[in-house]
Structures are given as structure tokens and as C-alpha cells.
Amino acid sequence: MLKNDCLAIIRPLIKELDRVTSFHDLKALIEPILSKINFNNFAYISLNFSYEKSKIVMTNYPVEWEFFYKKNNYHRIDPIILEFNKINVPHRWIEVVNPNNLEDDQRKLFLEGKEYGVNYDFNSNISCPLHGPSGSFALMSFLPSSEKINITSISNAKYSLQLLAQIVHLKINDFIPKKKKNYYKKSELSAREIECLFWAALGKSAWETAKILNITENTVKKHLNNAISKLDCQSKTQAITKALLINEISLLNLSMFC
């Protein structure tokens, strides 16, 4: 559900997104937004894209650690990448990966990262999996600025961080030369499809939306599936995010209901 705190996070990102033309610009835009909700570091990695490199990485981790991680191809053994590739929703690391069951080389990875100053805390770090067509997969991870941050606050931030990750993911697709499609052009959504996405963005179930619009639950589900397909998305959350980016859904209208 797009509560006011979530709107406060994604509004400046969407507002400035058209001005972003490089990874450097995008990173500079993300950092102050995350800082406001007490997240200090982030890392985005994309795999299996049709691109001249096997992976795309954008992070504000210490440069030395980023270089060392890439040099050692740690993405191949990183348990966060390997395990989050199997799920579809954001979680704290501890909810997906048991640090007591790591292989020796994986333990070494996290120990080395901490030596470079990275806060690898399984209890508080959150990762958002981003699945695409043809098996493509990206992951965006968020590290709190303090190990003392309230776990409840971290859990409450999951949805906001998932939306932010989806927006970043779509924008990065725009940077890839072989991706010719314009992600920000207007879609051909029907009025009903936009209405269903709007209420879904506010956290309404298909049943609740059906009652509001005076249609059947199956019809709502059909409209949502059509919207997901027309927007070339893989999930309802991704479709909501893209609808926000192309102004099919208005942040102003959403804020009136929060």
C-alpha cells in the first residue's frame, strides 16, 4: 500500500528521473532519498541481460570493495544473489539465508566485505529480487546506516524499497544500448485497467476493488493481468511502478487516499 511515507520516498525519485542520464546521476539521486529512511548503502546487480557484459553493477559500497568483488567474480558464489533468485518478494537477509549454513568461500566473502567497511548484517539488510523475461534477474540490496535500527522500521520499509528498486531497474534498462524500447511512453491501458491498477497501488485486493468498481473479482483480475501484459511487466508491483513512471497513475491522486 502506498502510504504517505512511501510516497515521500518515491515522489522525488520520479520527479527527477527524466533528468537522469547516467549511472552516476542515478546514484546521486538515490543516496539522499535512502538516507532519509536511515539506509546508507545499496547495491544493484543485473545478470543475464543481452549486453556486452555479463553483469551490470551499481553501488555506493567502498570503491575498493566493489573492485575486489568484481575481480573475484563473487556474484557467482554470493548466497544473497543465489537464494533471492528463487523468490519474488523483498525480505531481510536472515529470512532467506541462514548465515550458519554458508560455505567457507561464502563466509570469506562477507568477512572480507566487513574488512572493507561494508555493514553485512543479515538481520537488518534487505534485498529486492527483480525478475524479467528469458530468465533475466536483477537484485537490489539496501543496508541500514546503523546496526541499531529498529527491525520493525526495516520491515515496514520493504514495500517502499521494492518500489524504489523497480524504478531503478526500469531506469537502468534505459541505459542499455541494445534495449531499444522506450519504457516511458504512454501505454494503451483502458480506463478500467488504470482504475484497477490505481486501487491495487493503494493496497486493495481484487475483491475490494471489485466492490468499489461494482464489477466481479474475476473481472478485476483480468484487467490487472491485461495491464501487466500491456506494460510489459512481470508482476503487479512492477506494473504499478511503471504506471507511476508514465503518469498513468497520479501520485497526487494516490496521496489523497493515504
Q: Kindly report, residue by residue over 19-64, the tens digit of the pLDDT.
A: 888 888 999 999 998 888 888 899 999 886 444 345 778 999 999 9
* Whether residues 195 and 115 fall in one domain: no
Burial of residue 157 (number of CB atoms within 10 Å: 0-12, 13-18, 19+): buried
Residues 114 and 157 in one domain: yes
What gap in Å lies between CA 81 and CA 84, rounded to an integer? 5
Which among 129, 161, 159 has a CA at the least distance from the CA of 144? 161
pLDDT greater at residue 127 or residue 137: 127
Determine the straight-line distance between the first and last CA of the chain, rounded to whole angstroms: 9
Query: Is residue 185 one of the residues assigned to a domain?
Result: no
> Is residue 67 a part of any domain in this protein?
yes
Domain shared by 219 and 170, yes or no:
no
Q: Within this chain, do residues 157 and 113 fall inside the same structural domain, yes or no?
A: yes
In this structure, the answer to whether residues 232 and 131 fall within a common structural domain is no
| 113 Cα distance to chain centroid | 23
The CATH number of the domain holding residue 56 is 3.30.450.80
- Domain boundary pick from 175, 204, 234: 175
CA separation (Å) from 81 to 55, 75, 170?
12, 7, 19
Number of domains in the chain: 2
Last residue of a domain, one of 146, 175, 204: 175
Residue 185 in this model has a pLDDT that exceeds 80: no
186 occurs within a structural domain: no
CATH of the domain at 239: 1.10.10.10
Confidence of residue 105 (pLDDT cuts 50, 70, 90): very high
Domain that holds residue 72: 4-175
Task: Look at residue 198 and tell me if it is in a domain.
Answer: yes
- Reported as a single tens digit per residue, the pLDDT across 214-257 is 999 999 999 999 999 888 888 888 888 888 777 777 654 555 44
Q: Is the pTM of this model over 0.85?
A: no
- For residues 122 and 210, membership in a common domain is answered with no
pLDDT tens by residue, 88-104: 889 999 999 999 999 99
Both 114 and 9 in a single domain? yes
